[in-house]
Amino acid sequence: MECTGQNSSLGNHTALVEFILIGFSDVPHLQGFLLGVFLIIYAFILMGNSLIIMITKVDPSLQTPMYFFLRNFSLLEICYVSVTVPRLLTDLCRQYGNISLLACAIQMFFFLILVDTECFILTAMAYDRYVAICNPLLYPVIMNDRLCMQLAVVCWTTAIPIHTLFISMVFSSTFCGCNQLNHFFCDAPPVVQLICGDSFMVEMLLYMITALVASIPSFLIFGSYVKIVSTIVKLPSATGRAKAFSTCFSHFMVVALFFGSGIIVYFKSMTSHSTGVDKFLSLFYTVLIPMLNPIIYCLRNKDVKVALEKLLQKFICL
């Protein structure tokens, strides 16, 4: 059965008790292939980020604020993909995607919190690089263990009250009419579109949260990198400039990929009804970018590569 149009135009106001995630059921001949691909990607993300966490935890040379935040970021990536990908794999196996309102609310709640947390941690990492390059002599004093822990706590907890309010507003509303979500997980824009009656307040709250979470970290990160670049170009040594750029390049790539794709997809999906394209675009920032992050940080970071080589040598010698 296909659903088209808004709920109000369907004339069916029976309250819904579950949604149907269409996922990739519209390409049944690719179900097995997609299951294998996403399973491999998920395993790679888990192993890659777990390896980064282990290396940055046990290697004495990586006990710095920069790698403290990288360790938090890798843990976040594991949690982030685990909110959506296991459900996607299950739906690909069983060929249907029924999900209760409660399960949908829980998935959306954790997904939105982790998206915001990623924005905040990337901002904290940018601040760390700013202090390291622009104030190197004060770096050990400013980026002390206490401040790093405080920043981490703020990053992990700030989004919780915001999205508790938002999820409460969304799921205290009545859903009726079409119960199909043309998506592979319970993302906010397609769910909000299924609310019966006036959803103006919910939509405005979603716009405000998205705008604030996207704009404030983006502005802070951009400002940090303006200062960083202006400081680097003034360094007298070409070697020093190359090293400084190298330490920032990995983080900048991750920021550009995550913020760029996320902002495009989210604002596009909130300003137009889902056409199926949003679902495929969402794969980019929910699955593909988390897969690229361990590669970016391991291949572009000399310290991580050296620590990885030492760890592998220990295992080989055992």
- What residue ranges define each of the domains in the chain, with the CATH number in brackets? 16-317 (1.20.1070.10)
Q: Would the pLDDT of 182 be above 90? A: no
pLDDT (mean) for 32-46: 94
pLDDT at 168 over 90: yes
Residue with tokens 């700013």: 130
Q: What is the pLDDT of residue 85?
A: 95
- Cα(52)–Cα(89) distance, integer angstroms: 25
* Residue 157 pLDDT greater than 90, yes or no: yes
Q: In what order do the strands lie in the sheet with 180-181?
A: 98-100, 18-21, 180-181
Q: Give per-residue pLDDT as tens, 51-109.
A: 999 988 988 888 999 999 999 999 999 999 999 999 999 999 887 789 999 999 999 99
Query: How far is Cα 254 from Cα 248, in angstroms, rounded to an integer?
Result: 10
The residue type at 119 = C
Query: What pLDDT sits at residue 243?
Result: 72
Task: Report, as an integer, the average pLDDT of 286-310.
Answer: 80
The whole-number average pLDDT for the span 122-138 is 93
Contacts 24+ apart (CB under 8 A), 146-151: 148/65, 148/68, 148/69, 151/69, 151/124, 151/127
> How buried is 245 (Cβ within 10 angstroms: 0-12 exposed, 13-18 middle, 19+ buried)?
middle
Q: Is the pLDDT of residue 112 over 80?
A: yes
Q: Where are the beta strands (DSSP E) in the chain?
A: 18-21, 98-100, 180-181
pLDDT of residue 1: 45
Where does residue 42 rank: exposed (0-12), middle (13-18), buried (19+ CB within 10 A)? buried
> 298 pLDDT exceeds 80?
no
Residue 283 has pLDDT above 50, yes or no: yes
> Could you tell me which residues are beta bridge partners of residue 180?
20
Read off the pTM: 0.89
